[in-house]
Chain A
Amino acid sequence: MAGPGALGDFAVVGGAVSAALGAGTLGLGLARRNSRLVDAGRRFVAPMCTAAVLTFVAMEWALFSHDYAIKYVANNVANATPGLFTFTAAWGALEGSIILWVVILCAYVAITMLAFRRRRRDALVSWALLVQYLVCLFFFALMVGPARPFATQSGLIPFDGNGPNPLLQNHPLVAFHPPMLYAGYVGMTIPFSFAIAALITGRFGEGWLADTRRASLIAWGFLTVGIVLGAWWSYEVLGWGGYWGWDPVENASFLPWLTATAFLHSVMVQERRAMLRVWNISLIIATFSLTILGTFLTRSGVINSVHAFSQSDIGPWLLSFLGVIVASGLGLIAWRGDRLRTPGRIDSLVSRESAFLANNLLFAAFALVVLTGTVFPLLVEALNNQQISIGAPYFDRMSLPIGLALLFMMAVAPVLPWRATAGEVLRERLQVPAVCGVVAMAFVVVLGYRGLGPVIAVGLGAFCVAGIVRNFAIAVRARRRAYHERTVPALARTVRSNPRKWGGLVVHTGVVVVAIAIAGSQSWGTRREVQLKKNQTVTIAGHQLTYLGSSIVRSPQKATLKVRVHVRHGGDDFGVYAPAISTFPGSNQGIGTPSVHVGLLNDVYLSLIEAPDDQGRVTLQVGINPLMMWLWLGGGIMAFGTLLCLVPAKRKQPDAVAPPERELATVGAGT
């Protein structure tokens, strides 16, 4: 009888065949300039996407029906697994994660095809679709070969499964963090495919950038949210007290973010000044390559991490695919070398384009630093069979100056005009923000906060935000005068007139908030490990913690030991918090669940290290973590800014009265 396994296998093969036929037909059509074949090639998108959705549906069907004849199901759910974690088990292990990857990729391909339906015979769009087909074919091929999700058990079918990895059934964030991150990773396929198409067709002007601006922004937005959610998950679930450990897999998600961020800035230079063509194409190829490198690190088993699923056979496949991408990208750039030279040049070092170039170099340097620290241990292990790691001090030491320099550029670049800046203009635009920065630094020092890095970060952050506020205030004031509008409508219409610019500046504000939160939480926190008897109180950084007792809660899914800790600070009663350790059937690993009092300035972070001993003493790790809430809020602000960038600009009404020229010049300063 047909079941989810049969449906899944059929869908996987169907998807692979559709992708292969689509790529073959489209490729043939493009090679022979035969529009009928090109049209026919496009028609395989629908069956391919249907197959991807059916694969996912089949997997969910198998998981919810506990079809333990399928190995994946037997290894990743159990009868007692709650519904949410049964659903998320679809991407909780290697084979399922490839399904999610393919579903998201097909969604991107379908949306792109719909968006370009009026240009379906445009060679650029068709070549881009061909590249997308090939990427889809590769991932479908993984599911047909080394990562077959519906492979069946060879022996007896068990009555119950092993359940998901304990870390993946301990917090609802598992439903959001991986899909967001994948949406970011996979979305980079679209600008990459257009870049390759631009190289092939020779249309590497500004057209392909305009075509992929939204896709790039959407992918970047998802990647940003995915990384922030990953940090949040690490903080809320893993219980080690931090949110970023420079783990190789964390780095693997950060690397494409760095190059994609550089890309989003440098495309503006190409759009305005027709410069940096090779650089932009290289950046997007690098970004896509880094997403594949990240996939390789996560799924090949070359590293042990909470993200690494297991030793698997797909490593060589991914490495080969990475090699093909890099080689074909570089080969095409070399082939088009002469024609890629741009007519524009930088007129002055003090200009918007120079600032963007500097910002790009900083992002590239940051990416190089992180890539070196991530890949170096793997190379040493491969060559010398010596297990090494690069300590966090390397990453911290290198990222601090680069991060501060990026904050500085973020403050200065938006106020610089294109081409050249007069000294007086610069002084006028930067004077007030710079004073705000200095005052902010003095303020935090007076409050008793120390440390050169975080104090400078606060100063640069204030410098940047003050510049944004000044820019916005001038634009609103100009609009009010020109159109005789009230303040609130003028605010909204200012944003609506150029959402790309104001959305970008909202993102900058989010980055500032995140940067200050990171600097503060890394430098001004307190962490201690304490042992407490029942009703004993300890004071840490002004917070009184009293251990009240412990209890065990059992459910079919897990057994949880909770300890109750009463937290107070001065006269404020923060309530009772319950850090816990859970054990799951089929796993002897205790999973800590921290309990966090979230505050505007400080979190009180409690993590249970050891259960009550013979004398009833528990061991807790206590962290007083400053500004953590602002880290998550900053991520939210960045996501909001990205959404704002995606809003289409409102066209000017034909009867609108143009603002006076002088005021327009001022408003335009930041565009």
Chain B
Amino acid sequence: MTTGDPDAPVTPSKRFKARYIVLAVVCAGAVVWMITSLATNIDYWMPVKQAVAERSGDHGKHLRVGGLVVPGTVHGRDFELSDGNATLAVHLGPADAPQTLKGCTPLVVAGRWQGKVLEADGLTRRHGSDYSSKAHQLGDDTRMASCRQPGA
């Protein structure tokens, strides 16, 4: 087996090959990074009922759950969210807590299950002109009886 002469000059073809190898490694790294970033930033959109039903087989998915704050359940950074068909408990983790969080506020809660509590890392108030949350309709079935306007 020959080991080659370490003092031999680097030929243009070797330099050419080395550049391509470096380029290939950089490209492969970039693709892996992109796929990893994509995989860790998938949001699964669903109403409360579906989120609760699929909780056991969830495996740490990042959810965006739409519903209304259940009146009388706001205690500090904890509250309950309902779509009229099911209810789930929410704890505000790193999410900003609006001063105005109160019963019947329509919200999209982003977060992951921690046991039976949804640990929220983002809250979006659902509003007529709310551009971002309009991208995914979570159904307008989220009106709980206790939040209905008279005559609505």
Residues of A within 8 A of B (CB): 167, 234, 238-240, 242, 245, 247-248, 303-306, 365, 368-369, 372-373, 376, 386-391, 393-394, 397-398, 528-531, 581, 589-592, 609-610, 619
Bound Cα distance A368, B136 (Å): 23
- Write out the residue numbers on chain A whose beta carbons fall within 8 Å of the beta carbon of B134: 304-306
Given A240-B129, A592-B128: A389 in contact with B135 (beta carbons within 8 A):
yes
Given A365-B30, A376-B38: A592 in contact with B127 (beta carbons within 8 A):
yes
A365 (CB) vs chain B CBs: closest residue: B30
- Shortest A310–chain B CB gap in Å is 13
Bound Cα distance A390, B62 (Å): 11
B37 interface residue, CB < 8 Å from A? yes
Contact A397 B37 (CB under 8 A): yes
28 A-B pairs with CB atoms under 8 Å apart are A238-B131, A240-B129, A240-B131, A240-B132, A242-B131, A304-B134, A304-B136, A304-B137, A306-B131, A365-B30, A373-B38, A376-B38, A387-B46, A388-B44, A389-B43, A389-B135, A390-B38, A390-B41, A391-B43, A391-B62, A397-B41, A530-B99, A530-B100, A531-B99, A592-B128, A609-B100, A610-B100, A619-B100
- Chain B window 109-152, contacts with chain A (Cβ cutoff 8 Å), 1 for yes, 0 for no: 00000000000000001011111101111000000000000000
- Chain B window 29-60, contacts with chain A (Cβ cutoff 8 Å), 1 for yes, 0 for no: 01000100110111111100000000000000
User: Which listed residue (A248, A391, A398) contacts B34, Cβ 8 A?
Assistant: A398
- Chain B window 89-105, contacts with chain A (Cβ cutoff 8 Å), 1 for yes, 0 for no: 00000000011100000
User: Which listed residue (A305, A393, A529, A531) contacts B41, Cβ 8 A?
Assistant: A393
Bound Cα distance A592, B130 (Å): 9
- Shortest B150–chain A CB gap in Å is 14
User: Which listed residue (A234, A393, A581) contacts B131, Cβ 8 A?
Assistant: A234
User: Which listed residue (B37, B131, B132) contacts A394, Cβ 8 A?
Assistant: B37
- Shortest B96–chain A CB gap in Å is 8
Contacts A306-B131, A388-B42 supplied; 8 other A-B pairs, CB < 8 Å: A304-B134, A304-B136, A387-B46, A398-B37, A529-B98, A529-B99, A529-B100, A590-B127
Contact B131 A590 (CB under 8 A): no
Interface residue ranges of B59-84 to A (CB < 8 Å)? 62, 64
- Write out the residue numbers on chain A whose beta carbons fall within 8 Å of the beta carbon of B64: 389
Bound Cα distance A393, B43 (Å): 11
- Write out the residue numbers on chain A whose beta carbons fall within 8 Å of the beta carbon of B130: 240
Bound Cα distance A394, B46 (Å): 20
Contact A387 B45 (CB under 8 A): yes
Contact B129 A388 (CB under 8 A): no
Contact A591 B129 (CB under 8 A): yes
Top 6 nearest A-B pairs (CB, nearest first) are A394-B41, A592-B129, A590-B128, A529-B98, A391-B41, A589-B128
- Write out the residue numbers on chain B whose beta carbons fall within 8 Å of the beta carbon of A369: 34
Contact B99 A590 (CB under 8 A): no
Bound Cα distance A661, B38 (Å): 54
- Write out the residue numbers on chain A whose beta carbons fall within 8 Å of the beta carbon of B128: 581, 589-592
B42 (CB) vs chain A CBs: closest residue: A388
- Write out the residue numbers on chain B whose beta carbons fall within 8 Å of the beta carbon of A609: 100, 125, 127
- Write out the residue numbers on chain A whose beta carbons fall within 8 Å of the beta carbon of B129: 167, 238-240, 581, 589-592
- Write out the residue numbers on chain B whose beta carbons fall within 8 Å of the beta carbon of A305: 134-135
A170 (CB) vs chain B CBs: closest residue: B129
Bound Cα distance A376, B35 (Å): 11
- Shortest B124–chain A CB gap in Å is 9
Contact B135 A247 (CB under 8 A): yes
Given A247-B135, A365-B30, A590-B129: A531 in contact with B43 (beta carbons within 8 A):
no
A386 (CB) vs chain B CBs: closest residue: B44
How many chain B residues touch the partner (CB < 8 A)?
A: 27
- Write out the residue numbers on chain A whose beta carbons fall within 8 Å of the beta carbon of B37: 394, 397-398
- Write out the residue numbers on chain B whose beta carbons fall within 8 Å of the beta carbon of A242: 131-132
- Write out the residue numbers on chain A whose beta carbons fall within 8 Å of the beta carbon of B132: 240, 242, 245, 247
Contact B43 A372 (CB under 8 A): no
B98 (CB) vs chain A CBs: closest residue: A529
- Write out the residue numbers on chain B whose beta carbons fall within 8 Å of the beta carbon of A239: 129, 131
Most interface-central of B34, B41, B44, B98 (chain A CB within 10 A): B41
- Shortest B19–chain A CB gap in Å is 8
Bound Cα distance A589, B133 (Å): 14
Bound Cα distance A368, B45 (Å): 24
Bound Cα distance A389, B62 (Å): 10
Contact B135 A372 (CB under 8 A): no
Bound Cα distance A590, B126 (Å): 12
B44 (CB) vs chain A CBs: closest residue: A388
- Shortest A394–chain B CB gap in Å is 4
Contact A387 B131 (CB under 8 A): no
Bound Cα distance A397, B41 (Å): 10
Given A238-B131, A240-B129, A247-B131: A387 in contact with B44 (beta carbons within 8 A):
yes
- Write out the residue numbers on chain A whose beta carbons fall within 8 Å of the beta carbon of B43: 388-391
- Shortest B104–chain A CB gap in Å is 11
- Write out the residue numbers on chain B whose beta carbons fall within 8 Å of the beta carbon of A610: 100
Bound Cα distance A368, B99 (Å): 40
Bound Cα distance A391, B99 (Å): 25
- Write out the residue numbers on chain B whose beta carbons fall within 8 Å of the beta carbon of A398: 34, 37
- Write out the residue numbers on chain A whose beta carbons fall within 8 Å of the beta carbon of B127: 590, 592, 609
A240 (CB) vs chain B CBs: closest residue: B131
- Write out the residue numbers on chain B whose beta carbons fall within 8 Å of the beta carbon of A619: 100
- Shortest A252–chain B CB gap in Å is 13
Bound Cα distance A531, B99 (Å): 7
Bound Cα distance A242, B133 (Å): 13
- Shortest A34–chain B CB gap in Å is 49
Bound Cα distance A385, B62 (Å): 17
- Write out the residue numbers on chain A whose beta carbons fall within 8 Å of the beta carbon of B30: 365
- Write out the residue numbers on chain B whose beta carbons fall within 8 Å of the beta carbon of A388: 42-45
Bound Cα distance A387, B65 (Å): 11
B133 (CB) vs chain A CBs: closest residue: A240
- Shortest B130–chain A CB gap in Å is 6
A618 (CB) vs chain B CBs: closest residue: B100
Bound Cα distance A35, B33 (Å): 56
- Shortest B128–chain A CB gap in Å is 4
- Shortest B80–chain A CB gap in Å is 20
B23 (CB) vs chain A CBs: closest residue: A361
Bound Cα distance A597, B42 (Å): 36
- Write out the residue numbers on chain B whose beta carbons fall within 8 Å of the beta carbon of A390: 38, 41-43
Bound Cα distance A303, B132 (Å): 13
Bound Cα distance A390, B41 (Å): 6
Bound Cα distance A51, B100 (Å): 56
- Write out the residue numbers on chain B whose beta carbons fall within 8 Å of the beta carbon of A245: 131-132, 135
B39 (CB) vs chain A CBs: closest residue: A394
- Write out the residue numbers on chain B whose beta carbons fall within 8 Å of the beta carbon of A592: 127-129
- Write out the residue numbers on chain A whose beta carbons fall within 8 Å of the beta carbon of B46: 387
B110 (CB) vs chain A CBs: closest residue: A391
- Write out the residue numbers on chain B whose beta carbons fall within 8 Å of the beta carbon of A368: 34
Bound Cα distance A447, B107 (Å): 37
Bound Cα distance A610, B100 (Å): 10
Bound Cα distance A497, B117 (Å): 68
Bound Cα distance A389, B100 (Å): 27
- Shortest A379–chain B CB gap in Å is 12
Bound Cα distance A475, B131 (Å): 48
Bound Cα distance A545, B42 (Å): 38
- Write out the residue numbers on chain A whose beta carbons fall within 8 Å of the beta carbon of B99: 528-531
